[in-house]
Amino acid sequence: MKDFNRSARSRFMLGGAIAALGMAATPAFAADYLQTTDAAAAPAETSPEIIVTAQKRREALDKVPISIAAVSSEQLEKRNISQVLDLPQTVPALRVNYAGTFVLPTIRGVGSIVALPGLTQNIATYVDGFYVPAPSSSNFDLVNVASINVLKGPQGTLFGANSTGGAIQINTKAPSFDTSVLFRVGYSSYDTVSSAFYGTTGLGDKAAIDLAASYETSDGYVRNIVTGNNHVAAYDKYSIRTKLLLEPVEGVKFTLGYEHNFSDDPISQMVVPRDGITLGALDPTVQLSYDSPKRVALDNPGYARFKTDAFMLTSQFDFGFATLTSYTQYRKESTNQGLDYDASPAPINFSFWTVRDKTFTEEVNLSSNGDGRLKWTTGLFLLDYKNSYDFNTHLYAFGIDLDVFETRNHTKSWGGFADATYELLDNLFLTGGIRYTEDKPSLDFDLQAFGLTGAGSAKFHNTSVRGVARYQLTPRSNVYASYSQGYRSGGLPGSAFSTIPVKPEKIDAFELGYKNAEGPLNLNLAAFYYNYRDIQVTSYGAGGQSFTVNAAAAHIYGLDGDLTYAFSPDFSVTLAGTYTHAKYTDFPNALGRYLDPTDTNPDHPFLGAFQVDASGKRVERTPSFAGSVSANYGFDLAGGHMALSGNVFYTGSYFFDPAHQLKQPTYTLVNLRATWTDPSDHLDLAIFGKNITNAKYYVANFVDPYSARARFGQPAIFGGSISYRY
């Protein structure tokens, strides 16, 4: 492996050289007619045109001046990407970690450091155009997905608050008037049985419907050495999603959707005390386990149950000169969890809690039609988000459960935006956008254990802008320069029991990019620089208390890109990588903890807090380099077609905390897949392996007064599936 810790200057020189070579290789002409096709079916002479909605209107990916990683359903399957946690393996600029069942995504060094009720994410997640604010709602399997687009960099103008680092767009399949059915069953390691169904059909000439359903059950791969339970992480989960498409008259379209998800999966609570750091270690008779993803040593292993119901309505009206689109959503989620906080067999702390979320959103966009020099989009967004958090703990000394606290957060938000692109000269496009946002969070809490109550509210407003210059070198290649702003809403963190609001985060981003989709080559390169300030962090305060405050600023710069080359219709290779230099410029009051149980200094209590100056330290969950290589090769076999695919993902080391006490070493994940399709193209037989080298790595690390808890990623998994479609 090459040394990727060379200077930033040499990396920018290398990136510039690659960009120059890419532009020099751009043909002087392109086909007058571009046909949208599936990547696997495209001839090697032309790259398929990929359509995205990154600017709130349908456009070709290679003409959008935003750094975007677009992944199709076929690519997800070939690379064995089956859940949100796996996405970084094909999008190296993205990092996904967890705090319990809460998803903590990071893009280019910008991500959520704290996961508390009342505080939002700063990577916005959208499913079929609908904003999903609850952090636990992003923790789902990728079933019935048509494509995923990861928008890198602030998207504050088009996507509003809480897209400081970017946005993840998940698009599911749409109903079709043509009847089709897909059924799949699979079996893999640890007695994992999965099944999935998708069907769609027309209901006359003005309506169509679809149904997607999936179910998975497993014995799990974790053994509790305390109780001898070999299936302590056994799980069951299922999902149902359906859409009804109505086209009553020409130019009018309604899509009514419903989804239900349920998961009883305790894997998020299968924690170990990292390096044996736990209060339980103070008892020499306690047996610990912390070096294997397949073992835990817990007196109470915990649980995690999640349920969501969502109703969605998309309404479209084509007025000729413009199209009006309305997104109306009501979403209800609940999460019940229990966790052994000391991550050991010692009877110290077992806590359990319930989180409930209710979300109503309405977004209305009006976008111009036609191919004139001016294209524009304007819109209005409304949000009403309610969250309740009920936290309890078991007192082992008394054998009773204690109600500790309950918080209720309510956020109302609205925003309006306008964005326009004008072709000033032939092939020279200028884009400008502006968005105004107003947020009104409120909180009331009941600290039941101490008989204290409180309530408070706040109001924040923000204006974000962006400007872009794009020059179209050929019909399918361009260079662009952009400036954009991002905004993460402030709030009142529920479990902090304070009515002092946390202010919004803000970011200014500069980006230079190059895109080329000519011939068999698809190349995307970007260089970026961020000024990131008022970062919401956990800070050390007087008396050793920790507080969530705006206590940090960071400068971030780097390079990222991806290259796909189709040598033939059946052989293609994709390279993707990102270099990120992300350091705090001002973070004097970071929180650290004493982690040595043998330290006898009375001023260094084991797992007690102390102040760390994190200024100059690397931002957490941000490796200097991460990259992946994917390859697909197909050939005829036994009258049918065999498709071989593989994906290798490498990440440099990074830290889970600003004090740099919890380090993740470098690791590599390797996935392989082979699929044979019968001559009728109805039957698929597949075998696969995920993490076939059985690499050990963490997906979560957290330290508090009880332990330094860690959760391992999935070990090696092998399996197969049978699919039938018509």
Measured at the CA of 420, the angle between CA 419 and CA 424, to 5 degrees, comes to 155
Q: Which residues contact 16 (CB under 8 A, 6 or more apart)?
A: 527
Kindly report, residue by residue over 306-354, the tens digit of the pLDDT: 999 999 999 999 999 999 999 999 999 999 999 999 999 999 999 999 9
Kindly report, residue by residue over 249-299, the tens digit of the pLDDT: 999 999 999 999 999 999 999 999 999 999 999 998 898 989 999 999 999
- Are β-strands 640-651 and 667-677 bridged in parallel, bridged antiparallel, or unpaired? antiparallel
Burial profile 641-664: b = 16 or more Cβ within 10 angstroms, e = fewer: bbbbbbbbbbbbebbbbbbbbbeb
Confidence of residue 45 (pLDDT cuts 50, 70, 90): low
- For tokens 């008394």, name the residue: 398
Q: Does the structure show a pLDDT above 50 at 19?
A: no
- Distance separating alpha carbons of residues 706 and 280, to the nearest angstrom: 8
Kindly report, residue by residue over 378-415, the tens digit of the pLDDT: 999 999 999 999 999 998 877 888 999 999 999 999 99
Kindly report, residue by residue over 631-656, the tens digit of the pLDDT: 999 999 999 999 999 999 999 999 99
Kindly report, residue by residue over 528-549, the tens digit of the pLDDT: 999 999 998 877 665 556 678 8
- Distance separating alpha carbons of residues 103 and 175, to the nearest angstrom: 29
What phi, psi does 172 have (nearest 5°)? Answer: -95, 170
Kindly report, residue by residue over 563-594, the tens digit of the pLDDT: 999 999 999 999 999 999 999 999 998 989 99
Looking at the chain, the number of H-run helices and the number of E-run strands are 3, 42
Of 112-116, 169-173, 461-465, 719-723, the range with the lowest mean pLDDT is: 112-116
Confidence of residue 607 (pLDDT cuts 50, 70, 90): very high
Q: What is the pLDDT of residue 542?
A: 55
Kindly report, residue by residue over 111-135, the tens digit of the pLDDT: 987 667 767 788 999 999 999 987 7
Is 680 buried (19+), middle (13-18) or exposed (0-12) by CB count in 10 A?
exposed
Kindly state the tokens that stand for 370: 């036609």
How many percent of the chain have pLDDT more than 90? 78
Q: What is the pLDDT of residue 544?
A: 55
Q: What domains are there in the chain, each with its CATH number?
A: 8-725 (2.40.170.20)
**Average pLDDT over all residues of the chain:** 90
Q: Does the structure show a pLDDT above 90 at 517?
A: yes
Q: What is the pLDDT of residue 115?
A: 67
